[in-house]
Every structure is written in structure tokens, then in C-alpha cells.
Structure 1
Amino acid sequence: MASLIAQYLTPPMPQVTKEYDGLEFRWKFLTFRPAYFKNELYFLGAALLYFVFYFVGKKANKTKAYKWFEAHLPLYKAQFSRPANAEGLIQDGNSDFFSFSTGRRGLTSLHTTFTLRPRHDLFQLIYQFARGLIELDYKVFDSVELEFTFREPADKDTAVPGCVWAVVAKDEMKQLRADRWDMTFTKTTDNAALPQSLAVMSEFADITSALFKPYGAFSLPAILSQPDIQPYFRSLSLTDQPRVRPPSPLDPSERSKRLILSLRLPPSSSASVTLPLVTAAFQLVDIITGEGKLPGVRGGLHAQLRPETRIKLKKTREEVEKQMREEAVKEKREEEEDEKASARKKARDEKLSKLSAAEQQKALEREKKRQLRKSQGKLKMR
């Protein structure tokens, strides 16, 4: 039996003619004749091309992320006592890199996250290219995001108010609203101080007024209007809400207030072009928290808002949390009703299984009539 299986699995011997006069390699009892391996050569070439593509793409992504980080590292070192991990950037796969910074007034941490195109994966690149031809709104690019987490608790009225505010590139607005639930709190408006390519998303106008007014030599609209920066700017947002809508109100320990700067990653040769904008983000942190040496920031952003704005912000969050609690209770009640209905059906099926065929038929007809009367009653009530 084993010999039959071995004969079945063994490939047939190649038909080698005695007249073969092509290239041939011999070593002891082994003979290799390349002319008989034409298709295999193509497969080997394709595999070699894929591996070369993999290692070149992997190296390109790593170089691009490290170039940007190295260009901004002196600023990180000036701002934090622990500006980065011991190994610099931490790599997660071949297209994701991140760094953690801590040790600064007003901040718990800064997470710097790189999301690069999968240059190491030829098939993913082909998929992205094909999808871009079909879906006009589909865009892929290298990005870096800086998420500043404020030290102040999210459930208290301190220097950092509980609000949602953002400046967004208009071509990013649709995707931002789809990805970020917290942006649903805002209204979108144009602002005369900004270029036409940017828009403001804010809960109330005086939040924008407070952040856009000049603080000494610092002016956020002037920095955002710089032509060198605009191609790489995606969004700058201040938020006290999670990115994804939670099923129920979060515990205060799970909530945080954050300033998020999202950028397109510039080419490695121009990695420092976004340095003024990242510097401005640190200055904006000081304005919001009331820290630093800039004039007019005492009390932070919370002190600059009108009392009625602070009341409305608090009321909005109370209403959202109330709605979440009501939806959570309703969902739990529906789950309990489904469980009870399932238990009743199981008990009914067990009872039916013990009856004869005729009795089962009668019971099913009675149940059908009962459901019909029930549905007719509901129609009359409407």
C-alpha cells in the first residue's frame, strides 16, 4: 500500500533525449540542465522581485519616519524631560512607528504616531492604486499625528475647558467627520483669518476667538497661513470627547482632554518644513493651560470663555450622557426581552416534542391563530 502511494506522489521522470547539447552542470551523480526549467525561472524571478520590493519599501518607510523625527527631536528635548523612548522610535510592523514623550508642565504625555503607506507590500500598493481609480474620495498618504494629553481631569472645569474645536483642511473634513465622533459636537464655518482651504469646526464662536487672537508675537492663524505649511496640514483639534462614540458614559478616569495635530508627512529632504507648526502646537498648549511666558494666558482658555458658553458646554455634555444612559438601559431591556422570548420558545419546543404528530399540528394552528389576533390588535390600536 505504501509503495502505491509513493508511486502516485512521485512526479514522472523528465523525458531527456540523448541528443541534448545545451548548457549542463554536473557534480558527481547530479546533473542540472537549465533548458528544462523555463517556467520555474519566471517564478523565481517574480519571487526575487517581490523580496527586493519588500526590503526596499521597508527601508524607505523607516528612513522617512526617522528623518522627520530626527528633525523635530531637538524641539522635543527642549520641551520634555523625557522626550522619547530609549530606542527612539518604536516600530510596529513595517508602516507604523510611534514615540512617547513625557515630563512637561500641563501635559501628561505626547504620543507621536506615524502611519505610512505599505511600501513593503506590492499587493497592497496595487490594491490602493486600483481603489483610488474607482473611489474618487479615497486618498492614501503618509501621515504623522501628535496627540498631546493634558494633565487636568476631563470631568472638572479647570484651565482647559471641556469643549470640541478644530481647524481642518477642507479636503479632509468629510473623512474627519466619518472617523471622529467628537467632531459631531461642532458646527463648520469659514474664518476670514484663515486661507480658503481651511475651515473651523467649533461648538461656540468665542472658543475660536480666544484661540485665534494674538498672544504677543504668537498668532495661530498667521502660522496656519504659511504657504510652506499648508500642503502638509490636515487638522488641529482640541477635544474632551473620545474619537469613537462609547456605548455608555465613560468613567472620569477613562476620559481626557487632548490637543491633536495631524499632518501629512513631508518628503525626507524637507522633513523640517513642519517644525514651525509643531512649535506652534507647544505654544498653543501653554495658551490653553495658562502656562508659559506668553502674555494674556493667565487662567487658561477656560477663563477666556463667556460664562454662558461654559454653561452651554456643560449642559451639552450632560444631555449627551443622559441620552447614552437611556440608550444603554433600553438596549439592556431589549436583550432581557430577547432572552425571555428565547427561553419561552425553547420551553414550547420541548413541550411540543413530547406530543404526537396530530397534537403538534393542533398546537401549531392555535399558536398561529393567537399570533394573528395579536397582530390584528396592534393594527387597530394604530
Structure 2
Amino acid sequence: MAALLNNLFGGSKPAASPIPAGDSDFADFAEAPDPSPTPFSAIPSAASFGGLGAFPTGAAVPYTKWYNIHERYSLTDFKQEGVILGLIVIIVAIHLFGTSINRKKSKSWINAHASVLKKEFALVGFGGRGPSAEDVEGDGLAKSLANDKPEELLKEKSLQEYSTYATGRQNVAFVDVNLTLLKRYSPLSLVAEFALSLFFDSVSAPVERLEATLYPFDGREALTVPGQLPGAPELRKDKSGYDGFVWAVVNKETMKQLRDDRYDVSITSTKDHPKLPNWATIMTESAEITDFLLTPELIKAIEEAGELLEHLIITDQPIDQPQKLDDTIPKKRLHLSYRLPSSGDYSKLLPIFEYFLRVTDILVQGAHFRPEVLRKVKATREETVKKLQKADDDEKAEERQLEREKAKKLKRDLELKGLDAKAQKKYLEKEKEREMKKMQKKQTQRG
């Protein structure tokens, strides 16, 4: 052993060992080391050191599983990670699947209604001006629709909301169309909404619906049409104004909710009409208005739409209860709402949608009623205006009273400040006497 250490560390022959003779613990070091080299076969193997350390060239390396990952671990060691990855894959797949279904349904709607919109309006969607009137006839329309991109006709506001816009038509300033679809990309949210609708009447069950709002010109073309001046001959000849009123065809299932949510239809009276299906009713301010608007074309469109139709409203009043006098200024609009069919067949809903776009022409031509009818229509509005005027006057009177009291208190403080202590005490005593006399006088008047 001493020779091995000497060869490894290059030690030279030491002096005589001072180890005392006869000590068995240091017997190996009792003599001087041998300078001759030790044969290679005499070097101990790595196994003698527990398999650790560096191995000389040519030495046998013992086999161990730490060099093979597949032998160190098995699939059972990754159960938790596998469950997490599986859930992520399922969530992503459901999200992508639900989103793709919503996009297909929205494209199906715009493909069915694009032809109607293109015929009625010069600009549809968000891709700029469409083809001219001569190009939307026959093969020209099909060709123009084929060149349109879906993202230009219909805009994706969110994963469940889509919208389109159209303008450029006589008697119509513009129309906004919004599609609301189910949250197929989030089944948990969808189930929660359905569950809440079962327990709370104020929460309605989620449905897929179209909501369209049309804004007529109402004689204000000069404010929106560029290059036109107020009072121009062409504007007077094609004046688009009509009398204001509130009239609606409503599905009875949604009638109560509609009356609670909207101020404009809440001022109307509900009357069934023999020409309408049992599920529909009329909300109107005058029977003469109903006789004028309930045309055979509209009745046929309502029957074809069926119970998918929720409401068709013609109004000049705000949706929310007016809180100020400015809120009572008439703003004419038309609203259409219907549920989207699960089959994706819109052929029965196209007539009511087309009538909705064209009804402004009927209003401009004939919605000019007798003074007796208009007096009845204006009576409700005037009553609301009087209530708001009274509330406004009371508020102003209260403000004036507060200003007077503030000025009176300021004058009193200035008077007290200019007096000495004795005069201030006398002033306060007189003020207290006046207040007591006022209280006694009020009690006497009440008695």
C-alpha cells in the first residue's frame, strides 16, 4: 500500500521512519517505500471503492438504470400530468368546436339575408360601397354576392355576437342588425344561465335571436345626406316625415317581459286581432293606426314567421323611462326581433325581415292621421311631459330656496360678527323668540 501511494503521488524515499518498533497499527509504514513501479494489474478496481470515481481507460463500467430514463420512470408516474393535459385538450376542443358552430350559423344567416339587404341598400356591411342597382338583378346579384367576403358583410363582435350595417336607401338613414348566439364555447356558462332562468323570473333563458333597429330619415335628410341644403327642392318633393306613434305586433310569450323592459310599449293598450294567429297580439295607441298598418302583406309575413317572431315595433318614444324633458323628444325607430331557427332554414323569416326594411315607405306615404287620432296619441306624451315639468320646477324651486337660506345665513353671520358679546347674546335671544312664535303659530293653524 505504501508503494502504491508513493507511485501515485510521486513521493521520494523518506528518511528513516520515526514510528516505534513493535507498533502493529503502523506496520505498513515502518519501512521505506519501494521505488519500483507497481504493475497495472495491482491497481484496485472501482468496485472496491463502491462504484464511484473515475474509471481508468480499459476498466469495466458497471451497468446502472440511471443512464436510461425509460427504466427510471413509467407512465404511472405521470397520472396527474396526464389528467391535466387531457382536461386542457377537452376544454380547447370544446371551445374551438363551439366557436366554429357559431361562425357557421352567422354565415348561414348572412348568406340567406344578403340578397335582401343588397337589393334594398347601397352599402351593406363594412367593406365599402356595394354594386349599383343595375348590378343586383339576376346573375349580377349572384356574382356580386360571390365576390363578397363574409367578414366584410358580418362583423364578429365577440364569440357569440355578430353584427352588420346597411345604409343608402330612400326614407331610411341606416339599419343595425345584431345576432346573439348561444355560448357553445363555454358549456358551464350556458348551463348556469339555463339554471338561473329556472329559479329567477327576472333572468330569461338564453336564446339565439336577431335584433334589428332601423332609423328613418323622418324629413332630416339634410342633416345626413352630404351636399344637400335645408329646403332644397328635391328634399321637399321626397319628404320622408310621418306622424309619431307607438305600435307593435308582439308574441304573447314575451309580451309581459317586453312591457316591463320598455317604456314605449308600456304606454300602449293590448288588443287581440281576429286576423292574427292566437299567439300574436297588437299593442297600439289607436285602433285607426292598427287598421292602417295591419296589411295583408304583414299578416302573411307574421303567419309564415310563426312563433319565432318576438316583436315588430314602430315607435317614437324612448326605451327607458324619461327622466328629463330632453328625453321626451320624439326619436322615431323601428325594431324587429325573432328567434333563429335551429334548422338554419330562414325562408319563412325572410318575408317579415323584408317587410321590416320596406315599412318606412308605407309610413311616409300614409301615416298621416286625423287630428282626433293624434290628440289621443299626444295625450299620453303630454301627461309625461307635465310630470317631468312639475318635477323640474320643484327641483328648481328647491334650489332657489337653498340659495335664499344660504344668503340669509351669510347675512346673519356677518351681523353677529360685527357685535360685541353682550349684543350677540341679545341678538340670539330675539332670534330664539321669533322661532318659538313661528312654532306656536304653526301649531295653532294645525289645530
TM-score for the superposition, normalised by structure 1: 0.71
Match of 2:112 in 1: 71
Q: Which amino acid aligns with 1:183?
A: V
Cα displacement (A) at 1:224: 1.2
- Return the alpha-carbon distance in structure 2 between the equivalents of residues 274 and 46 of structure 1: 41
**Is 1:128 the counterpart of 2:188 in the alignment?**
no
Q: Which runs of 5+ in 1 are unaligned?
A: 1-20, 291-299, 342-369
Q: Which amino acid aligns with 2:389?
A: R
**Is 1:150 the counterpart of 2:252 in the alignment?**
no
Aligned residue among 262, 282, 286 for 1:204: 286
- Return the alpha-carbon distance in structure 2 between the equivalents of residues 325 and 25 of structure 1: 85
Q: Which amino acid aligns with 1:124?
A: S
- Return the alpha-carbon distance in structure 1 between the equivalents of residues 380 and 330 of structure 2: 16
Question: Would the aligned equivalents of 2:164 and 2:177 in 1 still touch at CA under 8 Å?
Answer: yes
- Return the alpha-carbon distance in structure 2 between the equivalents of residues 124 and 210 of structure 1: 45
Q: Which amino acid aligns with 1:270?
A: D
Shift in CA distance, 46/325, structure 1 to aligned 2, threshold 3 Å: farther
**Is 1:140 the counterpart of 2:218 in the alignment?**
no
**Is 1:230 the counterpart of 2:295 in the alignment?**
no
Match of 2:265 in 1: 183
Q: Which amino acid aligns with 2:254?
A: E
Cα displacement (A) at 1:237: 0.6
Relative contact order higher in (CA < 8 Å, ≥ 6 apart) = 1
Superposed CA offset, 1:123-145 (max 9, x none): 21121121233246832210101
Shift in CA distance, 317/26, structure 1 to aligned 2, threshold 3 Å: same
Match of 2:298 in 1: 220
Match of 1:35 in 2: 76
Question: Would the aligned equivalents of 1:237 and 1:259 in 2 still touch at CA under 8 Å?
Answer: yes
Q: Find the residue that maps to 1:272 and give its secondary structure.
A: coil
Question: Would the aligned equivalents of 2:171 and 2:240 in 1 still touch at CA under 8 Å?
Answer: no
Match of 1:326 in 2: 390
- Return the alpha-carbon distance in structure 2 between the equivalents of residues 45 and 339 of structure 1: 71
Shift in CA distance, 237/25, structure 1 to aligned 2, threshold 3 Å: farther
Cα displacement (A) at 1:116: 1.5
Superposed CA offset, 1:120-167 (max 9, x none): 22221121121233246832210101211110169xx97422111100
CA RMSD, 1 decimal = 3.7
Aligned residue among 374, 377, 389 for 1:313: 377
Cα displacement (A) at 1:281: 1.8
Match of 1:173 in 2: 255
Equivalences for 1:1-382 in 2 at 5 Å? 25=69, 33-86=74-127, 87-135=152-200, 138-152=204-218, 159-214=241-296, 219-226=297-304, 229-250=305-326, 255-267=330-342, 269-290=344-365, 300-302=366-368, 305-330=369-394, 381=446
Cα displacement (A) at 1:204: 1.0
Number of aligned pairs?
Answer: 313
- Return the alpha-carbon distance in structure 1 between the equivalents of residues 192 and 93 of structure 2: 19
Superposed CA offset, 1:277-310 (max 9, x none): 11222332221122xxxxxxxxx212xx222011
TM-score for the superposition, normalised by structure 2: 0.61
Q: Find the residue that maps to 1:133 and give its secondary structure.
A: helix
- Return the alpha-carbon distance in structure 1 between the equivalents of residues 283 and 272 of structure 2: 9
> Hey, which bits of structure 1, 4+ residues long, moved more than 6 A?
332-341
- Return the alpha-carbon distance in structure 2 between the equivalents of residues 325 and 85 of structure 1: 43
Match of 2:19 in 1: none
Question: Would the aligned equivalents of 1:72 and 1:272 in 2 still touch at CA under 8 Å?
Answer: no
Q: Which amino acid aligns with 1:327?
A: A
Question: Would the aligned equivalents of 1:68 and 1:268 in 2 still touch at CA under 8 Å?
Answer: no
- Return the alpha-carbon distance in structure 2 between the equivalents of residues 270 and 195 of structure 1: 21
- Return the alpha-carbon distance in structure 1 between the equivalents of residues 78 and 334 of structure 2: 61
Identity, in percent, stands at 30
Q: Find the residue that maps to 1:277 and give its secondary structure.
A: helix
Q: Find the residue that maps to 1:43 and give its secondary structure.
A: helix
State the structure with more CA Rg.
Answer: 2
